Amino acid sequence: MAEADFLFSETSQYLKPEDIIQLRNAYSFGLGAHSGQFRKSGEPYISHPVAVARILSKLRLDAPTLTAALLHDVVEDTDISKAEISERFGEPVAELVDGVSKLAKIEFQTQEEAQAENFRKMLLAMARDVRVILIKLADRLHNMQTLSVMIPAKQRSIARETLEIYAPIAHRLGLNNIYQELQELGFRYSYPLRHKVLVKATRAARGNRREVVGKILEVITSKLKEAHLDAEVTGREKHLYSIYNKMLEKHLSFSEVLDIYGFRVIVKDIPSCYVALGMLHSLYKPIPGKFKDYIAIPKNNDYQSLHSTLLGPFGIPIEIQIRTAEMHRIAENGVASHWLYKNLDGNFDELHLKTSQWLHSLMETLSSSTDSSEFLEHLKIDLFPSDVFVFTPQGKILTLPRGSTAVDFAYAVHSDVGNCCVAAKINGENAPLRIKLKSGDRIEIVTAPYAKPNPSWLGYVATARARSHIRHFLKTIQYEESIKLGERLLNQAFISFNINPDSITVAQWNKLARDSGVKSKQELFTEMALGKQLPAVVARRLTAPSESIFKEQTATPITILGTEGSAVQFAKCCRPIPDDAIVGIIKKDSGLIIHVLNCNNISHNPKNQENYLNVAWGKDITRTFEAAIEIITDNKQGVLARVAAEIAKADSNIDDIAMESENERMHMRFVLQVNNRLHLSQVIRGLRHLREITTIRRIED
């Protein structure tokens, strides 16, 4: 196979002869294991692992990594076991293959849960050996390069996962080339039409840009020669995804983004970086607030460079990056750039140490996430670039995401500091915990031994670490208190219905827990305490689960006030309001849904009425409710304004409006905020006075 020959030829330039023999053996082993398997494109399956190994060989990775790349799918897709790989190629290779393999043989309830568990396993393996993620990223890159054979829905799903997870991981590890290609391919398949339009526009603009870039290059090179600097200056083409994001974030047109020109200056040493910066600042005026010194304070992925935006000729913004050749190597290849992996003393080099610390910190944050969606949320938060550099009282630099608060800082120092923080001092002055930090701030956290995390912190913390620790504390420390509160609420409901709690059997409890989607009676109590279940509903379901609301009832109905929170929802199909005849329907994972009694979405089949409950409006309801009305009017100028004014005069707010015209008629549909049926009647009565209105009715389905 030609691709395999290219691989052996490329790797022979830096690997030992015995390593090449191992790669050839791994190729032969993989070829046999994948015999008869083909990719969607029709190519033999072995072409994929060979392509993955070639991507990694360009990073000059070691023989075990390339061997594992050639074998990375054999455990998942064939009958070969991890033990067989260990026996033939050694334990390190087997561990790498196992770390990359998906959890294909475990049953998951949802795709999201499967995805979360795959990432969790991958991150655990990464924490032991960062080479796992390098193989995984190369695997994803080749899959993205060959994504055209998939159906569009699959293309979009894989591309968005790539943009949300894999590209940020590549960026965090400093693998710039892989990061940018993943972004470009992710953009192409996530938004194919937008990508096509931008490709066409950039090609059309490229001729003019090349001329402008050439002139600016000449001027910059000439200026640096004046300072006797030996510099390599290049113009940088903006990537499509970068152009698209800048257009979105800053609400710019395509031409405005293309008017920003990028240049990179590479010099021999750090002093030369600052000399070059001074020369360029004397050539073109720097734009205030657009200078960043990542040499003095490197990014988390060890990226170093000077960034400055200058006002070039004819007012054109020019983005400049200045760095040394070593910095450029790290900027392009990150954690793979200086592959010492472990030196003779068994110590990690500085970049691998930083990467290892980040991975262990990430795993600590994610280990307390029990919910799949929560896990993925924390993972995505933690992967995006950090831009705020702050100082501890001892002068240590911490890097936090933009928008981080004093609470985020406290948890970054230590989880115990975060859990016990009560106040903060920023630059020597007292400041609220929710204040957003700025680069250069010096922060001191004040703690108290009996302080506890406040649930309101979740509303403003920016880091996954802080969010995870707060949630973990609230779940574990307050769990017993929630059980006690839920039990008290249920006992009150039993008293109101004259029910003896001792009459409830274990079988009744177990059935209700199953029907409610919880694991135990204690979890039911917790859900009642958190407002996810209504105690009155739980009491009624325990004692009369099959009672039909269409039969004559003597039992006290459950009172609805509209203040029950997430435990009670009002159906959007019929939008019940106080004084409507209503019925409650228990829906798994949604709580109690209130419908108007004659709603067409309610089944009157007795077999389907097991989860129907007798409910009634309470007295002294103070909140407003949604009601929908349809109005047909003459299509005249100003009619909408008069209708809106009449609604406001009746002390009602408009939540939503939809209109369509038909010849000389205008159909309007409003969603209004009203107190009850009487209030809605007053609104409708006021509207009837308008001569333009021919029809008005309430929409109840």
- Known catalytic residues are 76-77
* CB burial of residue 678 (10 Å; 0-12, 13-18, 19+): exposed
Question: Distance (Å, rounded) from C-alpha 438 to C-alpha 404?
Answer: 9
Query: In the 8-state DSSP scheme, what is residue 553?
Result: -
Three-state DSSP state, 265: strand
Task: Give CA separation, 249 vs 245, 385, 402, 623, in Å.
Answer: 6, 16, 15, 38
Which residues are registered as beta bridge partners of 323?
266
Question: Distance (Å, rounded) from C-alpha 109 to C-alpha 113?
Answer: 7
Question: Distance (Å, rounded) from C-alpha 313 to C-alpha 281?
Answer: 13
Written as one string, the DSSP assignment of 435-472 is PBP-TT-BEEEEE-TT----GGGGGT---HHHHHHHHH
Q: In which residue are the tokens 């053996």 written?
A: 25
Phi-psi region of 448 (alpha: psi -120 to 50; beta: other; left: phi over 0): beta
Query: In the 8-state DSSP scheme, what is residue 616?
Result: E
How do strand 665-674 and strand 625-634 relate by DSSP bridges?
antiparallel
Question: Contact at 8 Å (CB) between 540 and 558?
Answer: yes
Q: In which residue are the tokens 């911490």 written?
A: 398
Specify the length of the chain in residues: 701
Question: Distance (Å, rounded) from C-alpha 690 to C-alpha 1?
Answer: 82
How do strand 397-400 and strand 232-236 relate by DSSP bridges?
unpaired
For 109-129, b where at least 16 C-beta lie within 10 A, e where not — what string? eeeebbbbbbbbbbbebbbeb
Query: In the 8-state DSSP scheme, what is residue 165?
Result: I
How do strand 582-587 and strand 558-560 relate by DSSP bridges?
unpaired
Question: Distance (Å, rounded) from C-alpha 410 to C-alpha 397?
Answer: 13
List Cβ neighbours of 590 (8 Å cut-off, separation of 6 or more). Answer: 569
* CB burial of residue 478 (10 Å; 0-12, 13-18, 19+): middle
